[in-house]
Amino acid sequence: MNNPTNPPVSNLSSALRNINIQDNNNINSNNNDGNPNINILRQNAPGQVGNDMLLQRPPTNTNPSIIGNGDQGFNEPIVQHDILPSQNSGQINQNSNVDNSRLVNFFQNQPVSGYTLFSHRSAPNGFKVAIILSELNLSYNTFFLDFNAGEHRSPEFISITPNARVPALIDHGMDNLSVWESGAILLHLVNRYYKATGDAKLWSSDLAEQAQINGWLFFQATGHAPMIGQALHFRYFHSEKLPSALDRYTAEVRRVYAVIEMALAEKRESLIMELDIDNAASYSAGTTPLSQSRFFDYPIWLVCDRITIADLSFVPWNNVVDRIGINIKLEYPEVYKWTKHMMRRPAVIKALRCE
């Protein structure tokens, strides 16, 4: 269970109590019906855009319309993101003032079991790890770093992640083993769970399927998240307007989503042809569109017929892509349905609510 080291701020706690998890067909609605428009990862501390990116509050001179416009219609039961890259948050600067007292206390009094996730309240990749911990029903605590205090530059944190970025994980059941980089953490968790229980949950016992899962997992970590981060940076925060850079990264994000859309669409067609036998001939002949099948909204997954870390790794990032002008629901309908099914899972809801 997640027991955040830093308690949630009161305004978020009160907002979360009022969340109405209903389908919203207007991706970019402002939710003027009295219900809070709460989406992914809103926090007010500095961060950095890039791999293991931190989405933050815009500068005061930024158009406020980019705030509160992240509704993709996934019914996100989580906090809304702000966007502000800090140029130094991911760098090791030993000359900066660092308050490492909380970390010193933690390392002197580490738990004897379970996991500790080091994250930040605006880090999509930190929430990616929390989702898997929650889905596997593992006991964990989240230590939300205070970047303003320089905790990410402290020797204690650098000792478990030389890149000085979140997320990082300590596995207390393996002599306080530290694991860093989100993809590596996900693989450690599912393999550890498989070895301990014999259940390949969110994973596979088949080597061929493992290879496919790994392909999508690395595709997300190296192509999906970094391209969104770069597009956000050049859209809102670069020191000068560079339309060519923004166009390049936005186009690359669209290319990435086109790859996913095609894969999911092929899985959708295969599933409908297999299960909707009575109408298979008319689907093949093109006389009946696949959209008329009762299986058109049935959950489908990237690998085989079950959800894995390959799918769940995309969740926190899919909800911020509207900030660069990409409307998933309209442009990539299979990606939209896929994400919506994941966003409604109880374990995902718990993780993104920091419960």
Is 182 annotated in some ligand binding site? yes
* 179: β partners: 169
Whole-angstrom distance, CA of residue 131 vs CA of residue 182: 12
Can you say whether residue 114 is alpha, beta or left, with left for phi > 0 and alpha for psi between -120 and 50 degrees? left
Is 181 annotated in some ligand binding site? yes
Which H or E element spans position 169?
strand 168-171
Whole-angstrom distance, CA of residue 340 vs CA of residue 328: 11
* Coil, strand or helix at 141: strand
Rg (CA), the chain: 21
326 near 28, Cβ under 8 Å? no
Is 266 annotated in some ligand binding site? no
Is 10 annotated in some ligand binding site? no
Which H or E element spans position 45?
none
Sheet holding 177-180, edge to edge: 140-144, 115-119, 168-171, 177-180
Is 125 annotated in some ligand binding site? yes
Q: Tokens 């690998």 sit at which residue?
A: 303
Is 166 annotated in some ligand binding site? yes
User: Binding-site residues for glutathione, please?
Assistant: 125, 152, 165-166, 181-182
User: Binding-site residues, please?
Assistant: 125, 152, 165-166, 181-182
